[in-house]
Amino acid sequence: MALFLEKGKLVYHYDAETLWVEPWGANSLRVRAVRNAEMPYTSGASQTDWALLPPEPREPSIVIHDDGASIRNGKIELRINAFGQIAVFNGKGELLLEEYVRSTRDIKGRTWSALQIDGREFKPNGGDEYALKVRFESHNPDEKIYGLGQYQQPFLNLKGVDLELAQRNSQASVPFALSSLGYGFLWNNPAVGRVCFGRNLTTWEAYSTRYMDYWITAGDSPAEIEEAYAGATGTVPMMPDYGTGFWQCKLRYQTRDEILEIAKGYKSRGLPISVIVVDFFHWTCQGDWKFDPRYWPDPEGMVRELKSMGIELMVSIWPTVDRRSENYNEMLEKGYLIRSERGSRTDMDFAGNVTFYDATNAGAREYVWEQVKKNYYDKGIQLFWLDVAEPEYQVYDFDNYRYHIGSNLAVGNVYPCMYARTFFEGMKQEGREGIVNLIRCAWAGAQRYGALVWSGDIHSSFESFRNQLAAGLNMGIAGIPWWTTDIGGFHGADIKAPAFHELLVRWFQWGCFCPVMRLHGDRNPHKPPLGTSGGGMFGSGAENEVWSFTEEVYEICRKYLLLREKLRPYIREQMKAAHEKGTPVMRPLFYDFPGDGQAWETEDEYMFGPDYLVAPILYPGKTDREVYLPAGTRWTDCWSGEQYDGGISITAPAPLDRIPVYSRNNAVFP
């Protein structure tokens, strides 16, 4: 065993393992370990630090003694004993995390059984990669865990939950956890794996990797922890003004004339609209990345006409490349496509045999941006919808795909980051500021590439609606403050069904109080295709504009469109806080009221910025609901003006046209 100081790092070495601990931001440490000859990715390669940004230099306090060592950086201290076991403490000396070891001795000198379980378990996979497990004791069964990204499950508190660390359509693995005990933990490893927050221990797992890498911070409040994490991984750009308004979308506007007609429909009715969307298969072939001129002639003129109405145009981009694409052979020759380990190179058979461009390859990123710049950006389109971003494999056999920088098992979770980076860096080179990419997935650090994540192709049901509330709040805690959903859900809705009308109204109300308010969906009954190839080969869903349902639905939607417009100055302030400090725009009650125990228990309400408590109606047929108003402040019902002292639960009226909203300390509600 050797413990020593090297270039500001605490280094532990025993047998084949080398472990580094070093300061990485205020009150934070980065911990890495390998069983190979040297620490990987230390030569200045772009993927060296994965989600982490380079830190400011810091001088930690490091003490080495006969039985181990300690390293302190502000409010956090890590201790390691002679057997390599790690424990982490806050500035008050309180234990935050301790590796689960059932081997020889733990850090307190206790003797254990002969189970021979290590806190860090490296099992060889062949070559220089390992199946890695890192285990931590769960000393406090009442600990609560939040973050981790977006999963289609209803639990806000993830204690007791088992999660796959992998990207899928509607699932975004963003492996940052915030603990009620006062720490934040980033699993800084893009390998496919799992995490289980059990009552007895927490286990992080990577199925194939060369190293262990995590970052941990301690803080006195959730906000302090969140801001430290944002400092370590980056913040979103400043949201441009149009982003705070209403976004209109459907599956799918089929022609240039149709989209202009819909835009004029909003304007003629006096309805606010900021963005309108051209969805998938407006192109000639997947991988051509250009409009089909038969259905979308004169895109420059379309952009000009929309801008004259104050509307931005967003276009859908897919990472798919069809074998018939004009770019396929060149991209194949240059190594710009994801490879298959077994079978043919067909990753998805949607409208052809397609694979995906390899966004982990800098050359591929530049190549794709060149096509997009020529065919979209130079024509005035500066807002992109990056769909199929996981990427969405036909079969999620993660071990069957290989990227430029490694196997999918070892690095695959970083793909959506690199997809967003393609467009962010391309537009940045063109001098663009306030870059926004609507994208269907994310990993840690994606926020700094302008990632606005939406929750994927979800079902149109109240059950799915409830899942989105947990998903959005946990995405904000995971460092992705720009987030939205398909209002009304994506699949399975009939525009004539009264049950869907109720769901749509409740979802639309909630969308008014989401970071981005966006109406989208694949509605029934469907419309036929206009042709047999290119931009005409796909049909469309039914109408999905706010006037497409009933007069009652229209009037309620109109009410919330006008309300959203009045809220925009307030939302801009929240976007500024997200840009400057990483503050989630929507966040659980405990974020603003960490001293209120009930705020940590409440999972079906949230704060929209610091001023408004929002309690969506998440079940059909409900016309009231219980609302908890946190202690220590005065609350005002934004509809009736009735006031309450906090620290109580009330029954809030919620007729169909009303979502319960309460303002804090006399904050003005428009």
| Whole-angstrom distance, CA of residue 629 vs CA of residue 635 | 7
Q: Are strands 401-403 and 339-340 parallel, antiparallel or unpaired?
A: antiparallel
- Positive or negative torsion for Cα 516, 518, 521, 527: negative
Please give the Cα distance from 12 to 15 (Å, whole number). 10
DSSP secondary structure of 123-144: EEEETTEEEEEEEEE---TT--
Helices (H), 273-392: 299-308, 328-334, 362-375
Residue at 487: amino acid letter: I
What span, in angstroms and rounded, lies between the C-alpha atoms of 442 and 489? 20
Residues 6+ away with beta carbon under 8 Å from 488: 460, 500, 503, 504, 507, 508, 519, 520, 521, 544
Amino acid at 256: R
Which listed residue (77, 205, 387, 596) is catalytic?
Answer: 387
- For residue 564, the SS3 value is helix
Tokens representing residue 169 in the block = 């359509």
Rg from Cα positions in the chain: 25
Residues 64, 69: Cα–Cα separation, whole Å = 4
* Residues sharing a CB contact under 8 Å with residue 226, sequence separation 6 or more, in sequence order: 178, 184, 477, 479, 581, 582, 583, 584, 591
- Residue 236 CA to residue 435 CA, distance in Å, equals 9
Estimate the crossing angle of helix 415-429 against helix 362-375, to 10 degrees: 50
Considering only CA atoms, which of 331, 422, 304 is closest in space to residue 372?
422
Token code pair at residue 466:
């409830």
Beta bridge partners of 215: 30, 186
Q: CA-CA distances (angstroms) from residue 240 to 212, 302, 458?
A: 38, 21, 27
Neighbours of 526 (CB within 10 A): 13
Is residue 457 annotated as part of the catalytic site, yes or no?
yes
CA atoms of 8 and 10, how far apart (whole Å):
7
What is the DSSP annotation of 213-227? Answer: EEEEEE-SSHHHHHH
Strands of the sheet containing 312-317, edge to edge, are 483-484, 451-454, 437-439, 384-386, 312-317, 275-278, 246-248, 517-519
Catalytic site includes residue 390: yes
Catalytic site residue from 77, 312, 390, 596: 390
Q: Is 543 a catalytic residue?
A: no
| 382 phi/psi in degrees, rounded to 5 | -130, 20
The two three-digit tokens of residue 615, written as one number: 């309690």
Question: In this structure, are strands 275-278 and 246-248 parallel, antiparallel, or unpaired?
Answer: parallel
Q: What angle do CA 38, 42, 48 make, to 5 degrees?
A: 125
Q: How far apart are CA 105 and CA 109, in angstroms?
A: 6
Catalytic residue among 457, 494, 573, 657: 457
Torsion over CA: 191, 193, 197, 200 (sign): negative
Active site amino acids: 387, 390, 457
